[in-house]
Every structure is written in C-alpha cells, then in structure tokens.
Chain A
C-alpha cells in the first residue's frame, strides 16, 4: 500500500486567482527517495504542504481532490498528528526557528510529545552529531549563518524520528560540501527505511540519491519517472530553466558530435567511467 497518495488535487491560495496545483496525482511507496524539481512557482512547496496537511489546515485556500498519509486523510488529520509521521524542513529555516538556543529548538517538540528525559537526551545528541552542531548547541539562532540555521531545522525534524522526511530546498544556503553532507545523510536515512521527499535545485546532487524524480511546472506534474529517465531529457529540462547534471550535459553534447552512448551518465562517477573508457578505447 502506498505511504502517500495524492489524487486529482487542485489548490488555490486564499486571495489568489491562480491555481497553485492543477490536477496532481501521485503515490509514494514506503522507502522511496523522490526528488521534486521545477522552476519557482511550479507548486513544489505547495505539494509538500498538502502532503503534510499544512494546506488546508494552516495555510488556507480552496482544495479539492484527496491526499492521504498512511491511510489518514491529510486534510482532516491534525497537523500535529501528521507531523509524527512526516518531518517537514522548509525553505526558509529562519522562519521555523522559535527558541533561544539550538538545544531548546530541538528539545521543544520532543517535550510536547511527553517523551522520557533519557529518550530526549538520546535523540538530541544523536541529531546534533548527524548535522555537526554539537559544539554550537547553546548558541542563539540569531547568531547562526543561513547554512547553520538549515542544519538546525534538519536536526529538529530528525529528532521527531519521522517515517517520512520532506526536505524543501533545505540546503539552499549551505556551502557545497555542507549540502552534500545533508544529501548523504538523506541517502543513509533512506537505507534505514525512511521515505524521503526532496525538493532541490541542485540536480547534480539529486542525481546521486533519488530513485525517482517528479518534474513540475505551473502547478502540474509534467513528468514522474525513474531518475535516469528524467535526467536524460536534457533539452526538456533546460527548456524549463533546470540545469541538468554537467556530466549528462557533456555526454549529450558529445552525442550531438557523433559519439554514441547506450545511456547518458547522470553522476560524476558514471561520467568518469564512461568518458575514460571512451578515451582509452582503441
């Protein structure tokens, strides 16, 4: 049974006339790593909010169609309840931080769950290690850089130990290796059996970790297919203003110059392998 099911969902924000989601249907199985890509205004964040019940419970508007998480209707199941299944890390980390230091930020929702003290301590230490913030645990969020704030937001979501983690451009302010760290972390969470949904502009990184990619534009799903299949459509993606992996672009350009590939490489390692093989081939 799918973990997340969205059927014919349409949504218009209150006060707006434009439809933010237009007949969106998809289902996500437990343990999948799904990437969502598309230009701004495509409806990526809106879709994440529908899945988490934030729309229409907190962010208002006109919603039709159905959305469910583990069989629970996302529309009516309290967000607090859904948030025990789904951890949502949003684009603007700053807007999510409430408390006066990092430790409190992570502990607060755990205390709300009335977890035992020892369990809270265990989770706190674990997630601070995971995002390399152990030394900064008493710092006020105000003094953190954009990237550090994003790490705090990720840590706070992980501490809830959700089955599903939604990362909505959660690494946009991180340095390249810091972002890679979060991507690797997400990849290892998938290996532990968690379901990951990642909205991401960095397609090079997404190519390494996602099983499947959903391409959105203007509220619609344009493509929903395995990662390689989506990323091989170089011109389609470029037409949407998306920058495909550089290795894929390189191979695609070589193809135009007469070199034949069985399949286009989508990660650096694949590119290195296939280009080296070509170059050394007699």
Chain B
C-alpha cells in the first residue's frame, strides 16, 4: 500500500491492505490479530502501530514523500495469512471494466498469473 500520510483513514487502509479493523483487532479472512490501544482513533489508523503488530515493513521514498507499507510478514511467516481468498478488483482487458474476483463465488476458479515478458 502506498501512503502519503502515516495516519490514513480506516477505509483506505482496509481497502488497500485487505485488513479490516474490528473490535477483535486487525482481521483478514478468518484470522484476527489483536491491536493495542491507539492503533485506531478518530477514524484513522496509526500505521506505525499496525506495521509493528502485523510485521509489515514500512519503506520511505524520501524524495517523493511517499511510503510503501509491505504485506504482513508477522502472522504466519508465509505469503498467505489465511486460506480465505482475498478480494481482487482489476480491469478486464476485454471490456476495460473493473472485475471483482468475488463475483465468481459459487464456481471453482483457476486463477492464472501470466506475463508477456
């Protein structure tokens, strides 16, 4: 997730990282990580606190006043924190419209990542 502030809104944080903020803590699929007080206040997330709790590296590009918050490394030690498939919203090359992976619920899905290179 790219950040111009270390106190983004809860909705921005959740939509971009896939981690929802609930009373139980930061939740993704079926896993929740408890958060200390102060992690969330006034509808904003303290990224430093979340980064520490979830093991997300925070990398700064000083010249551009932007940070990148990396994915959580501290939950399972693997790329997947949960087997629940994340939401994925990307443009469809055939239509130009954004397609939601979750719209295929009810079918088996084989997701294939490929590249022209």
Chain A bound to chain B: no
The interface of chain A, by Cβ under 8 A from chain B, is none
